[in-house]
Amino acid sequence: MVTCIVGINWGDEGKGRVADLLSRDMDIVCRCQGTSEARHTVVNERGSFMLNQLPSGILYGGVCCIMGDGMYIQPDRLNEEITRLRDAGVDISPENLKISRRAALVLPGLTATQMRLLLETRDRLCMGDLTDVEMLAEHLNALADAFRRYGGKPNMSAWSACCRRYTALFGDYIADTGAYLYDAEHAGKRILLESQSGALRDKDFGVFPYGSPTNCLAAYTPIGAGMPGVRLSRVVGVMKAYSACHGDGPFPAEITGEEATYFRELGQEDEDGATPRRVGGFDAVASRYGVRLQGVDAIALTKLDAVSFLPQIPICVAYEVDGKRVTDFPTPSALRRAKPIYEYVDGWNCDISGCRAFADLPVQAIIYIRYLEELVGAPITYVSVGAERDAYIRDSVKAEIQ
């Protein structure tokens, strides 16, 4: 059985939280794509962990973790991440972590533009090159030529020294992970594929030109994992109980001023001290589009607790574009002109962090969840009600509440 976790919106939906929840029932967890810029946050009894490149399953003993073909691995940052987790008592070895030999190796010293250009061409290194001395030298020379074409000044001696160090650090972890996953799937193992970013950041179907350089859709996850012929058994899409967007580009449901500050404080959106994250009411138009792109079977709704004390909860049910009401997600150019059309539902004004079943939730919270299901067209089967590992509700609200 192969399950994948994907983002429905602009990314930062809480996929790490949900991946941690599902990982406990898996044999293998594979991170399919992304760089060290990805941030999956997991909170457990040991503390709070920011996983930039490692799969979320690394925090469970007995789960084998894969860094898949579609990843852009920055070895120095990966080593720092592994060291942080080991210092916290997490066991990491070639037995429970395997790195695809086809994953891209990102050398230090590249600008963001140079890195993107090199990764989009054939002139790049793969992690498997570290285990083949002759091939590594050939590929380093090709990379240096490409680097010069993009205006860089390659330092071959420094690059060679880095690669020798990376071989010593990760040589034992590098494997044919595609074959490993293929055999595991045929043996009936439970596999979780962990995606990066969200549907609206997809390079083909997202909001151009503000997307990711990679595909962020469920259909791509088996390819990024290294098992392109495998069918997904289940797609779990993740969305927040409100909207959040990190980065530039049109964001129709955006709320500003004091109300935005209140939203960010409730959702702890600025806890990393970075640029304030853009926030807004739940965007049904964007979420419905994301659900369709991802082919979602089940939805995990995160941060429901963050809207608990709002007297009225805003929901963007449509856009106004050039004086017309629009309920389908528009083109990127039209999206720039879109204005939100809001409806409001009553809040429930109480703490729900102790709820562990849908029946425990206040009536207004259940009404809110059901309305979101109706708006996006998919069942909500997981709800997080707090940051702690056990602060979630599982199973369909319709199955439990009649």
What's 173's domain CATH number? 3.40.440.10
Co-location of 268 and 130 in the same domain: no
Q: Are 221 and 178 in contact (CB under 8 A)?
A: no
Q: Which of 165, 200, 225 is the last residue of a domain?
A: 225
Co-location of 158 and 243 in the same domain: no
Counting the structural domains of the chain, the total is: 2
Does residue 360 fall inside a structural domain?
A: yes
Residue 402 clears pLDDT 50, i.e. is over it: no
Residue 273 clears pLDDT 70, i.e. is over it: no
Q: What is the dihedral of CA 43, 45, 46, 47, to 10 degrees?
A: 40
Does residue 326 fall inside a structural domain?
A: yes
Co-location of 71 and 214 in the same domain: yes
Counts of helices then strands in the chain (DSSP H, E):
12, 21
Average pLDDT over residues 7-13: 93
Co-location of 217 and 301 in the same domain: no
DSSP-derived letter for residue 231 is P
Co-location of 209 and 248 in the same domain: no
Buried-exposed string 277-288: b where 16+ CB fall within 10 A, e elsewhere: bbbbbbbbbbbb
pLDDT in tens, 15-63: 988 999 999 999 999 999 887 666 667 777 676 778 889 999 999 989 9
Does residue 9 fall inside a structural domain?
A: no
The answer for residues whose C-beta is within 8 angstroms of residue 134's C-beta and 6 or more apart is: none
Co-location of 163 and 274 in the same domain: no
3-state helix, strand, coil split of the chain in percent (to 5) is 35, 25, 40
Does residue 337 fall inside a structural domain?
A: yes
Q: What is the C-alpha separation between 340 and 251, in angstroms, rounded?
A: 10
CATH number of the domain within which 279 lies = 3.90.170.10
Co-location of 75 and 220 in the same domain: yes
Co-location of 46 and 117 in the same domain: yes
Q: What is the C-alpha separation between 182 and 234, in angstroms, rounded?
A: 17
Q: Are 192 and 23 in contact (CB under 8 A)?
A: yes
pLDDT in tens, 160-211: 999 999 999 999 999 999 999 999 999 999 999 999 889 999 989 999 888 8
Does residue 232 fall inside a structural domain?
A: no
From the list 127, 73, 47, the residue with the least C-alpha distance to 387 is 47
Q: Token pair for residue 146?
A: 């490409």
Co-location of 142 and 210 in the same domain: yes
Co-location of 139 and 211 in the same domain: yes
Co-location of 195 and 333 in the same domain: no
Q: Return the pLDDT at 225.
A: 97
Residue 125 clears pLDDT 90, i.e. is over it: no
Whole domain around residue 343: which residue ranges? 238-400
Q: Which residue has the higher pLDDT, 364 or 150?
A: 364
The Cα-based distances of 147 to 128, 142, 152 in angstroms read 20, 9, 5
The confidence band for 263, taking pLDDT boundaries of 50, 70 and 90, is confident
Q: Return the pLDDT at 396.
A: 58
Supply φ then ψ for residue 66, to 5 degrees.
-120, 135
Global pTM value: 0.92
Q: Return the pLDDT at 376.
A: 98
Does residue 6 fall inside a structural domain?
A: no
Q: What is the C-alpha separation between 115 and 112, in angstroms, rounded?
A: 5
Catalogue the active-site residues.
Answer: 12, 40
Does residue 230 fall inside a structural domain?
A: no
Stated as kind and residue range, the H or E segment containing 24 is none
Co-location of 208 and 245 in the same domain: no
Q: Which of 191, 225, 259 is the last residue of a domain?
A: 225
Does residue 133 fall inside a structural domain?
A: yes
